[in-house]
Amino acid sequence: MNLDPKRRRLREEMEHHIVELKDQLEREGLDPHEARDEALRRFGDPERFAGEGDPEPGRLGAFVDRLRADVRFALRRMVRDPFMSTLTLATLVIGVAATAIVFSVVHAVVLRPLPFEEPGRVVHVSQTSPQGRSYSISEPNFVDFRARQRSFTEMAAMGWDTPVLSGVGVAESVEGRRVSHTFFPILGIEPLEGRVFSAEEDRFGGATDVALLAEGAWRRRFGADPSVVGRTIVLDGTPRRVVGVVPSDRAWPGVEVWTPLAPNPDVYRDDQRLEAIARLAPGVTLEEARSDMVAIAARLSDEYPESNDGWGASVESARDWLVGERLTRLGGLLTGAVGLFLLMACASVSNLMLVRASVRTREMSVRSALGAGRPRLLGQLAVEGALLALLAGGASLLVVGFGIDVIQRVGPDDIARLGDAALDAPVLGVALGAAVLTVLLAGAAPAALLARGKLFDVLRNASTARYDAGRRLRDGLVVVQFALAVTVVCGAGLLARSFVELQEVELGFQTGGVVRFAVRLPQERFNQGMREEYLRGLRDEIRALPGVTAVGATTAPPFGQSRPSNFVARSDREPDRQQDFLPVSWRAVSGAYFEATGIPLLSGRVFGADDQAAAERRVANPPVIIDRALADALWPDGEDPVGRLLTWFLPGGRQCEVVGVVGVARDERIDVEPRPRIYRPFTYTTWDQPTVLVRVQGDPEALVPALRSVVLDADPTIPAIEPTALTRDMRDTVAWPRFSMQVLTLFGVVALILAAMGIYGVTAFSVAQRRREIGVRVALGAEPAEVRRLVLRRGMRLAAAGIALGVAASLLLTGFLESLLYGVSATDPATFASVPLLLGAVAALAAWVPAHRALSLDPREALRSE
């Protein structure tokens, strides 16, 4: 360090002073090492005083010098007090990283505009049942809606499809969608290569043998070869010419091929499988579009009463449809929790800054006596804050990158655009902004006190019992922290309990030991007889595999996407209007389905081979099996439903005979009471893609390779689609609740840590202030327990106030959690009793450490420290 002679002299004088002070302390009985430390502590840092004097104002060089000195000083101070520095930094990093991670996910999934042109004008149209629930649209209804509407520039529909792609590597089922030719133009998605579908290609009976590739599939399967346009691919055995490549992956990740919808105006109007979208015409509001659609639905209800009676229509923004209420809600929850975190981090950092300031009381007073004015000290505080923000921001970026990675790996698969979350510019901005904001807020308290000239008063007089501004502030911060921690931990506790409840739900069937897979039997290639032959052959082959005990078939696998519904009534009390029929879910299953799934037969019988044949021939009163819930709903007097008739509303009000009653199976959604269920016999005519369920003794996963090869042996063009153990499907159905719980639990732990740091800081601070008083008490022979109680009391009182406040706030806020909970009330007494206890324990622990330290103080030293 280059010093002018004047400064050098001052420094040498001060060094001499410290040496003399140390000698004196040694004579008073400290060992040399302690004496040196104590002398330094009392005196502060001679290096720094040397740099203090009155700076020559106005010179940039001087400013830079001073800045350098300030930075060096701030760094040195951090190094000298590693514990406090680490605590402060860790608090900041936790708060900032949590904010940035959550923001990156919420931004990618919820906030970022949909990847469409003018996404706010794109809407989703659905049909509403007489009971008011939203349903998809049938092909004829879509055709009519599109022809009659006056609110949209255009309408389009989308249907699900998982065709088998062959001719490119091994035959494999791929995710696909059937869409109107208007679909991509409505969204403003331009093809990367070639063109999108033409109107002619979208006409029923038209030149529909074309396909579009999604960009991802094009790159993955065709090496981004532009000459793919014009090539022919084979979907479900049908050759289709590729006409273009579309960048659709961001909106529909996983979808590889697009084929024309070509809606058939003459299929059942109640076969609702299409999702309809539209672009609002200029000047038309969502409300106007809604009433337009409702009016059309009302006319269709009059024109086609047998299918459309009582059915309405609804229009919502495409964002609500694609992003979904659940995600928006979760996003809000996470953002809220993270906001609380930043507040907690602010409180902690603020407290820690005050504590550090208190440790430096003497040094600060020396510096102000030396003529370092308030602006100078504020500058020092600012430099220290900036340094803290920079370090914390930098460190949190590492955590953020890692955190995003983890979330993408463990998050549920069905969150569209989760993969978009990245450490990009907005996230960087938020991380840095959060760090700066936190430090600013945290520094505001000390700075305000300093600006009012009260910092030294606060710090000096702190040992008196006077209730000063600084203390009130610090206490308030700790109370707020505990309140926030209680809120977050209560939320986490409720979700965790809810998750446990979900795990223990009685499913009514046995998922263990079952593998499911689907096979694709496209109508173009398989007529009824061929399907029957194929499936029978396949069933016999699978049955011959070692360990297999049952092979069943169904139209919709347990926990699958498809949840078909219908309406039934007792034939002897058949109502006139559809509203009065009972909504049910239904499946078409083979007789062995019940054995394969383990759903118990309660009375009557399961389907036999004759039933299937009868259903195939459309005989009068075909057999059905109902579950216990439906039996109780239709025959509440306990009559045996077996042999009775019920009317199956669609298609066309057919009467069926109940041949058996089985147990209730919760196989659609685990967290919702199942709808009553009706089973029809599985028929070979109607189902393109049946699901096969195989019950096996031993590990079902181990059977998968054998299953795959058996299926390929039966027909090399038909692969087994997604052979999966049912237990895995079940895990996936609770992926969402699990994810919410994991996230909030993590948050709870973080909140606990932050709160613990806060109470630790404040107790340590009060101990530092009361060293003298404690020393006197110990010297006068106070019992250790008494002293400990003295120190603990204040911290615990603050914690108690915070906990009480937090419980009150949680009781108000948990209403927001209600929809995420299963089997647990939002005011669950067990949670609300145990969380305060937990936080109380944490508070006691965090306050005990400094209290313990206070007891180990050497009375002599404590007395001298003033």
Partner 1 sequence: MDERVELVPGTLDMLVMKAVSAEALHGFGIARWIERVTGDRLTVEEGALYPALHRLEKRAWLSSEWRRTPRGRRARYYRLTPEGSHELDTLRTRWEGSAWAVRQVLEAEGEA
Residue 651: cis peptide before it, omega within 30 degrees of 0: yes
Give the residue carrying structure tokens 């996910």.
Answer: 105
Nearest residue (CB) to partner 1, 24 versus 285: 24
Nearest residue (CB) to partner 1, 48 versus 240: 48
Nearest residue (CB) to partner 1, 772 versus 852: 772
The token pair at 592 is 């062995």
Nearest residue (CB) to partner 1, 19 versus 406: 19
Question: Shortest gap between Cβ of 366 and partner 1 (angstroms)?
Answer: 3
Site string for partner 1, 316-355 (x = CB under 8 A): ----------------------------------------
Question: Shortest gap between Cβ of 61 and partner 1 (angstroms)?
Answer: 24
49 binds partner 1 (CB under 8 A): yes
21 binds partner 1 (CB under 8 A): yes
Question: Shortest gap between Cβ of 777 and partner 1 (angstroms)?
Answer: 15
Question: Shortest gap between Cβ of 763 and partner 1 (angstroms)?
Answer: 26
Stretch that binds partner 1, among 3-11, 328-336, 353-361, 528-536 (CB under 8 A): 3-11
* Dihedral angle over CA of 428, 433, 434, 435, nearest 10: 90
Nearest residue (CB) to partner 1, 10 versus 847: 10
Question: Shortest gap between Cβ of 451 and partner 1 (angstroms)?
Answer: 21
137 binds partner 1 (CB under 8 A): no
Question: Shortest gap between Cβ of 464 and partner 1 (angstroms)?
Answer: 12
DSSP string, 178-239: EE-TTHHHHHTPPPSEE----TGGGSTTSS--EEEEEHHHHHHHHTT-GGGTT-EEEETTEE
Among 13, 37, 405, 699, binds partner 1 (CB under 8 A): 13
35 binds partner 1 (CB under 8 A): no
Q: If DSSP codes are grouped into helix, strand and coil, which group holds residue 371? A: coil
Among 38, 43, 470, 802, binds partner 1 (CB under 8 A): 43
Enumerate helices (H) and strands (E) in the chain, giving the number of each: 27, 25
Q: Which of residues 349-378 bind partner 1 (CB under 8 A)?
A: 365-367, 369-371
| CA atoms of 671 and 668, how far apart (whole Å) | 9
Cross-strand bridge partners of residue 172: 165
Site string for partner 1, 661-700 (x = CB under 8 A): ----------------------------------------
| CA atoms of 682 and 684, how far apart (whole Å) | 7
Residue 115 carries which DSSP code? S
Among 1, 19, 410, 830, binds partner 1 (CB under 8 A): 19
Contact criterion met (CB below 8 Å) for 395 and 435: no
Type of residue numbered 61: G
Q: If DSSP codes are grouped into helix, strand and coil, which group holds residue 638? A: coil
Question: Shortest gap between Cβ of 739 and partner 1 (angstroms)?
Answer: 58
Give the residue carrying structure tokens 């034939």.
Answer: 571
Site string for partner 1, 459-488 (x = CB under 8 A): ------------------------------
What values do phi and psi take at 314, rounded to 5?
-140, 150
∠ at Cα 111 (107, 112), nearest 5°?
80
17 binds partner 1 (CB under 8 A): yes
12 binds partner 1 (CB under 8 A): yes
DSSP string, 784-850: HHHHHHHHHHHHHHHHHHHHHHHHHHHHHHGGGGGGG-SSS-TT-HHHHHHHHHHHHHHHHHHHHHH
Among 35, 44, 416, 630, binds partner 1 (CB under 8 A): 44
Q: How far is CA 154 from CA 143, 147, 207, in A?
A: 12, 10, 22
Contact criterion met (CB below 8 Å) for 7 and 65: no
| CA atoms of 656 and 644, how far apart (whole Å) | 8
∠ at Cα 97 (91, 99), nearest 5°?
105
| CA atoms of 557 and 690, how far apart (whole Å) | 9
Question: Shortest gap between Cβ of 56 and partner 1 (angstroms)?
Answer: 17
Number of residues that bind partner 1 (CB under 8 A): 22
Q: Which of residues 528-567 bind partner 1 (CB under 8 A)?
A: none
Nearest Cα to Cα of residue 44 among 66, 18, 9: 18
* Dihedral angle over CA of 510, 514, 519, 523, nearest 10: -30
Output the 3-class SS for 643-686: CCEEEECCCCCEEEEEEEEECCCCCCCCCCCCCCEEEEECCCCC
The token pair at 737 is 């609740």
Nearest Cα to Cα of residue 391 among 97, 607, 831: 97
Nearest residue (CB) to partner 1, 43 versus 739: 43
| CA atoms of 253 and 418, how far apart (whole Å) | 10
301 binds partner 1 (CB under 8 A): no
Nearest residue (CB) to partner 1, 54 versus 524: 54
Question: Shortest gap between Cβ of 17 and partner 1 (angstroms)?
Answer: 5
14 binds partner 1 (CB under 8 A): yes
Nearest residue (CB) to partner 1, 372 versus 445: 372
Nearest residue (CB) to partner 1, 6 versus 150: 6
Nearest residue (CB) to partner 1, 21 versus 645: 21
Nearest residue (CB) to partner 1, 134 versus 368: 368
Nearest residue (CB) to partner 1, 49 versus 593: 49
Nearest residue (CB) to partner 1, 18 versus 704: 18
What values do phi and psi take at 102, rounded to 5?
-60, -40
Nearest residue (CB) to partner 1, 12 versus 524: 12
Q: Which of residues 637-656 bind partner 1 (CB under 8 A)?
A: none
861 binds partner 1 (CB under 8 A): no
517 binds partner 1 (CB under 8 A): no
444: number of Cβ within 10 Å: 14
Nearest residue (CB) to partner 1, 366 versus 488: 366
Nearest residue (CB) to partner 1, 487 versus 769: 769
355: left (phi over 0), alpha (psi -120 to 50) or beta: alpha
Question: Shortest gap between Cβ of 369 and partner 1 (angstroms)?
Answer: 4
22 binds partner 1 (CB under 8 A): no
Contact criterion met (CB below 8 Å) for 103 and 337: no
Binding site for partner 1 (CB under 8 A): 6, 9-10, 12-14, 16-17, 19-21, 23-24, 43-44, 49, 365-367, 369-371
